[in-house]
């Protein structure tokens, strides 16, 4: 474990809907603030529930809610009206010119995942201003978040397209001077805004990929569907070169409640714990237990933080090492897996649909494959520098 010292720490909690991301984010932020870190918790799930969880009113503007703790529920329409005024204005004028009514036009300027993108820009500002020590991000359910976390990488392509489209609109407008123009002209301020976004995207990418600064924490429950979806998320996050740092296993049934829940539930839970182990080891596992009362408000969030972190500072860097990497080398697609050992034992590889099973002696590891590797065959595996390197062809 590495202390984070003077650096900004960005903790991104993600996972399937309902697993406890918001509760865990709020609990983490409360604990960080208590420890004296200047903390902000940002909700980027458009179905915001951070205010409910903290039991405090929040808005689309940053608000101080407790000593050392600020919070915001990012509101894209509000962002478009304030921070991205030129873009918001032009896009809604554009939609209106295409015959849309003004209210729908405003809604249409919002594209999926923009809450997260706005939040990433906030983080970039915080890094420059030094206003916070810790940023805790409560994100939308996995699929949407993943798309956006990959966004910095696709940003160049995306903005090239957008930029060209608007540049062409300007050209077209000049060519047709004198005729009635139905499309509004983008202003210079608008084009400047686009340029600025592109530059800032690059900064965001640097922040996201810095493993000392940014860590992704996967929240799961001991449930089959949740585990399988999160397994896929883990693969894609690795593919996008983010550092998945640890797992949060929430809603475990406590041992002392054995009289309360049926025995079969506990048996099911131990099977799913094995599945978690085989899907995510050697990631660090933080645990929290099913509460019999609602997890709402500071007191119950503090109980949750205590279960998760005990005496540990939640902002600490658990690891900077990437436990899974997916890359191409000399035209060969490769996957590197960190395993808890390096072995002379024979490695067995099995593929079923989109899952790769790795067996080494008694050890079994199961990995969701990204689409690009599903069609390929895993044909070679060797240990190198403490990692298992698997080649695909």
Ligand X SMILES: Nc1ncnc2c1ncn2[C@@H]1O[C@H](COP(=O)(O)OP(=O)(O)O)[C@@H](O)[C@H]1O
Indicate the burial class of 11 (C-beta count within 10 angstroms; 0-12, 13-18, 19 or more).
Answer: buried
Per the CB < 8 A criterion, the answer to whether 286 and 247 are in contact is yes
Q: Which does 295 bind (CB under 5 to 8 A by kind): Mg ion, ligand X, none?
A: ligand X
Beta 69-73 vs 355-360: how paired, if at all?
A: unpaired
**Phi/psi-derived region of residue 369, left when phi > 0, alpha when psi is between -120 and 50, beta in every other case:** beta
For the bound state, the minimum distance from the C-beta of residue 255 to ligand X, rounded and expressed in Å, comes to 15
CA atoms within 13 A on the CB side of 192: 5
Nearer CB in complex with ligand X: 241/307 = 307
Nearer CB in complex with ligand X: 20/152 = 20
Nearer CB in complex with Mg ion: 54/337 = 54
For the bound state, the minimum distance from the C-beta of residue 44 to ligand X, rounded and expressed in Å, comes to 11
Token duo for residue 271: 């099977």
Nearer CB in complex with ligand X: 184/222 = 222
Residue 22 near Mg ion by CB under 5 A: yes
Q: What is the DSSP letter of 56?
A: S
Residues in contact with 251: Cβ distance below 8 Å, sequence separation at least 6, in sequence order: 19, 20, 221, 222, 288, 289, 290
Q: Which does 12 bind (CB under 5 to 8 A by kind): ligand X, Mg ion, none?
A: none
Look up tokens 């131990």; give the residue: 270
Nearer CB in complex with ligand X: 142/211 = 142
At residue 330, what are phi and psi to the nearest 5 degrees? Answer: 50, 40
For the bound state, the minimum distance from the C-beta of residue 133 to ligand X, rounded and expressed in Å, comes to 23
Nearer CB in complex with Mg ion: 22/39 = 22
For the bound state, the minimum distance from the C-beta of residue 230 to ligand X, rounded and expressed in Å, comes to 11
> CA distances (Å), 98 to each of 72, 95, 109, in order?
34, 5, 13
Nearer CB in complex with ligand X: 206/273 = 273
| Torsion on CA atoms 87, 90, 91, 94, rounded to nearest 10 | -170
Stretch of residues binding Mg ion (CB under 5 A), selected from 19-27, 121-129, 207-215, 242-250: 19-27
Token duo for residue 104: 């729908």
Other beta carbons within 10 Å of 319: 18
Number of chain positions touching Mg ion (CB under 5 A): 4
Q: Which does 20 bind (CB under 5 to 8 A by kind): ligand X, Mg ion, none?
A: ligand X
For the bound state, the minimum distance from the C-beta of residue 73 to Mg ion, rounded and expressed in Å, comes to 10
Q: Which does 43 bind (CB under 5 to 8 A by kind): ligand X, Mg ion, none?
A: none
Stretch of residues binding Mg ion (CB under 5 A), selected from 47-55, 275-283, 298-306, 369-377: 47-55
Q: Which does 251 bind (CB under 5 to 8 A by kind): Mg ion, ligand X, none?
A: ligand X
Per the CB < 8 A criterion, the answer to whether 300 and 294 are in contact is yes
CA atoms within 13 A on the CB side of 4: 27
Nearer CB in complex with ligand X: 20/184 = 20
For the bound state, the minimum distance from the C-beta of residue 290 to ligand X, rounded and expressed in Å, comes to 5
Residues near ligand X (CB under 6 A) are 17-23, 49, 250-251, 288, 290-291, 294-296
Number of residues that make up the chain: 393
For the bound state, the minimum distance from the C-beta of residue 120 to ligand X, rounded and expressed in Å, comes to 19
Coil/strand/helix, residue 3: coil
For the bound state, the minimum distance from the C-beta of residue 144 to Mg ion, rounded and expressed in Å, comes to 12
Residues near Mg ion (CB under 5 A): 21-22, 45, 49
């Amino acid at each position: 474990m590495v202390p984070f010292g003077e650096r900004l720490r960005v903790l991104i909690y993600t996972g399937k809907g309902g697993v406890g991301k918001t509760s865990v984010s709020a609990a983490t932020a409360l604990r960080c603030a208590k420890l004296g870190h200047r903390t902000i918790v940002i909700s980027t799930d458009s179905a915001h529930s951070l205010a409910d969880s903290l039991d405090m009113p929040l808005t689309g503007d940053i608000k101080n809610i407790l000593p050392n703790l600020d919070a915001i529920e990012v509101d894209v329409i509000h962002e478009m009206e304030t921070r991205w005024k030129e873009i918001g204005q032009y896009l809604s004028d554009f939609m209106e010119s295409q015959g849309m009514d003004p209210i729908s036009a405003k809604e249409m300027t919002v594209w999926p995942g923009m809450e997260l993108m706005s939040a990433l820009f906030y983080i970039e500002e915080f890094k420059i201003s030094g206003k916070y020590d810790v940023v805790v991000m409560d994100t939308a359910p996995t699929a949407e978040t993943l798309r956006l976390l990959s966004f910095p990488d696709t940003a160049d392509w995306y903005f090239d397209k957008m930029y060209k489209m608007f540049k062409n609109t300007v050209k077209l407008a000049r060519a047709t001077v004198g005729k009635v123009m139905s499309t509004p002209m983008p202003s210079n301020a608008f084009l400047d805004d686009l340029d600025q976004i592109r530059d800032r995207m690059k900064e965001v990418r640097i922040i996201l990929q810095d493993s000392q600064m940014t860590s992704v924490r996967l929240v799961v429950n001991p449930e089959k569907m949740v585990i399988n979806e999160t397994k896929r998320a883990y693969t894609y996050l690795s593919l996008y070169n983010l550092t998945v740092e640890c797992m949060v296993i929430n809603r475990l049934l406590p041992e002392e409640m054995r009289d309360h829940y049926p025995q079969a539930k506990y048996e099911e839970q131990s099977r799913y714990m094995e599945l978690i182990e085989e899907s995510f080891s050697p990631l660090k596992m933080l645990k929290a237990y099913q509460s019999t009362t609602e997890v709402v408000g500071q007191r119950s969030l503090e109980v949750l933080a205590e279960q998760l972190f005990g005496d540990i500072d939640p902002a600490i860097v658990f690891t900077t090492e990437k436990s899974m990497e997916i890359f191409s080398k000399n035209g060969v697609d490769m996957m590197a897996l960190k395993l808890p050992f390096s072995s002379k034992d024979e490695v067995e590889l099995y593929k079923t649909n989109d899952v790769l099973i790795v067996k080494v002696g008694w050890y079994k590891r199961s990995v969701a494959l990204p689409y690009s590797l599903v069609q390929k065959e895993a044909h070679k595996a060797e240990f190198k520098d403490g990692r298992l390197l698997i080649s695909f062809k």
